[in-house]
Amino acid sequence: MIVDFTKLNRLPSLPVVAIRLLEKFTDPNVALPEIVRIVQTDPAITAKLLRAVNSAQYGAGRPVSDLNRAVNLLGKKAVTSLVLCFSLSEESMCRGAFASLYKSVWLQSIVQASAAEQIARRHFRGMEGEAFTIALLADIGRLAMLKTAPQEYAAVVDRSAREGLSLEQCEEEAFGIDHRRLSLALLNHWNLPKRFSNAICRRTSAPDQLASLPADEERAMTFTTALATTIADYFCISPRGLSFALMADLGAELFGMTPDNIDALLKETDRAVKSTSELFETDPSQLGSPTDLMAEAMEQLCAIASSVHDGQTEASVRSRLLDENGQLKQRIQDLVQRSCLDALTGVFNRGSFDEQFTLATADAMIKHDELGLLFLDADHFKKINDEYGHPAGDAVLKRLATVLTSAVREGDIVARYGGEEFVVLLNKPSLAGLESLAERIRAAVEAERIPVDGGGVIRVTISIGGALFVAPHSDDTPGNLLVAADSALYEAKDSGRNRVLIRHVHQCGSEMTASDR
């Protein structure tokens, strides 16, 4: 069925006050008293605006009951974005059969707008209100389709999710237009500034095309809307792995963002959405926890990376992944690897070690191979932090990681187990080889001189506890390897520190023998 949206009268309509504010949006000559006069013509919006300025998100410090003061505190662009939200939230309120779909469409719009506001706050100060407004309206076509043909649009959304097709493709086939083109048509119908439409139209361009745009306010809003779109997709659309990869790619290419920057931006967006949920009538509980979202994204990225490597990527994903220089494919591989690494030291993290320990012990049991484990702990590390500061402590941990990775063989696993504790997992070592490696590491660390800011150096020692598991000679569980190595570490620390103690895990009745050094 093809729906002619231009002939229907159930498209989202904006109240007169919103239209008049948008007309004044980019006019630098409009004074705040004129904004006040426009807003006060609509008592319902006036009441909501006063409620907003007194909320936690926009709190003024003391109660505000006067519209003049509220507008002065918020500013013209923030007032406009709030009025738009109030107007569109009314459009999104449906208590019928399609209430859930209305709520999800509105929630994604708010997430997108909130993300854009946070991006602008970080990179384009003073443009937060405009960024919020553009992102809020960027996908208004979805609401238009839902209001015009709710049953048909619900079927489109269901088909997109069920068959793994893009929403735009399903919309085009059902309605002869997709929601993005319809959004642009609505913005044009409302006579909104051309740079709004340009930012929305260009947001799906490749990063290199975006980067070539002239450095002006329009480019700033295009960058912001592009990244905000991927953030909204990440929060609201499953599977979210590809959205996360696209988000990381855009963040790095357009804003120079690191993974930590991306993580902070996601948390800021999550807080903003939750703090305005009552004001904008959204249900942020639908989003899930940031930890769960990230775990899901990483799991999907691993699957995507594997399928790309095996040549099995679905056609719908392939066209977006395998661009000319493989940049996004590389970004996915980098993200998968980074999710396994400790952010400070660059060695494997605890979660990755746990997975690899499980695989290694199972393999050793099947093949009757030896497996060695070393636990290493920096001596008196708290004193280093207290005396030199945490940056110096971080430098020590980084140097320890460097010493460890330099000492082990290719294929051995070095991980940060937690705090100042590291672990080394070795495949098929001898007892003598395990002892020799541990002693070399201990001596190498003792010889290190780690410079600190302001001059001077830090000297540090480590205690090492280890154990050797010999599968053919034991009916014991590999879990005892962890227990034995950990116990050896604490015995080494209790007996004076800066020493190595290795245990040979071998069940003989209930005894374990130890080989000390």
Q: Is 8 a residue whose pLDDT tops 50?
A: no
| pLDDT value of residue 462 | 97
Range of the domain at 496: 350-516
| Mean pLDDT, rounded, for 127-146 | 90
Is residue 191 situated within a structural domain?
A: no
Question: In 212-314, where does DSSP find H-type helix?
Answer: 217-236, 241-255, 259-275, 277-280, 290-310
CA torsion sign for 438, 441, 445, 447 is positive
Task: Output the pLDDT for position 270.
Answer: 92
Q: Of 91, 121, 138, which marks where a domain is finished?
A: 91
Of 74, 91, 108, at which residue does a domain stop?
A: 91
Q: What is the pLDDT of residue 461?
A: 96
Predicted confidence (pLDDT) per residue in 413-441, tens digit: 999 998 999 999 998 898 999 999 999 99
163 in any annotated domain: no
Q: What is the pTM of this model?
A: 0.62
Examine the fold and report which residue of 44, 65, 91 is the final residue of a domain before the chain moves on. 91
Rounded Cα distance between 363 and 482, Å, is 16
Does residue 517 register a pLDDT over 50?
A: no
Quick check: 515 pLDDT over 50?
no
Of 274, 238, 281, 286, nearest to 94 by C-alpha is: 281
Q: What is the DSSP letter of 372?
A: E
Q: Is residue 97 scored above 90 in pLDDT?
A: no
Q: How far apart are CA 35 and CA 239, in angstroms?
A: 43
Rounded distance between C-alpha atoms, residue 346 and residue 398, angstroms: 8
Q: Is 289 exposed, middle or buried (0-12, 13-18, 19+ CB in 10 A)?
A: exposed
**Of 71-75, 186-190, 349-353, 474-478, where does mean pLDDT reach its minimum?**
474-478
Give the per-residue pLDDT at 61. Answer: 63
Amino acid at 230: T
Q: Which DSSP category does 285 fall into?
A: G
Does pLDDT of 7 surpass 50?
A: no
Band the pLDDT of 331: cuts 50, 70, 90: low
Query: Percentage of the chain with pLDDT > 70?
Result: 82
Residue owning tokens 């116990």 = 487
Domain harbouring 357, CATH code = 3.30.70.270
The closest of 503, 485, 373 to 427, measured between CA atoms, is 373
* Interval 389-408 mean pLDDT: 93
Please check whether residue 499 lies inside any domain of the structure.
yes
The model's pLDDT over 210-238, given as tens digits with 9 standing for 90+, comes to 888 888 889 999 999 999 999 999 999 87
Is 473 within the bounds of a domain?
Answer: yes
CA distance 385 to 391: 8
Does 380 fall in a domain?
yes
pLDDT number for residue 321: 46
User: What pLDDT is recorded for position 117?
Assistant: 94
pLDDT at site 364: 81
Give me the pLDDT at residue 322, please: 43
Going by C-beta distance under 8 Å and a sequence separation of 6 or more, which residues neighbour residue 400?
Answer: 345, 376, 378, 420, 422, 445, 460, 462
Give 284's pLDDT tier (boundaries 50, 70, 90).
Answer: confident
Asked if residue 182 lies in contact with residue 4, where contact means CB atoms within 8 angstroms, the answer is no
The tens digit of pLDDT for each residue in 437-484 reads 999 999 999 999 999 887 789 999 999 999 998 865 555 566 788 999
Q: Is residue 113 part of a domain?
A: no
Q: How many domains does one find in the chain?
A: 2
> Would you tell me how many other CB atoms lie within 10 Å of the CB of residue 138?
29
- Distance, in Å, from the CA atom of 187 to the CA atom of 194, rounded to the nearest integer, reads 9
Q: Does residue 57 belong to any structural domain of this protein? A: yes
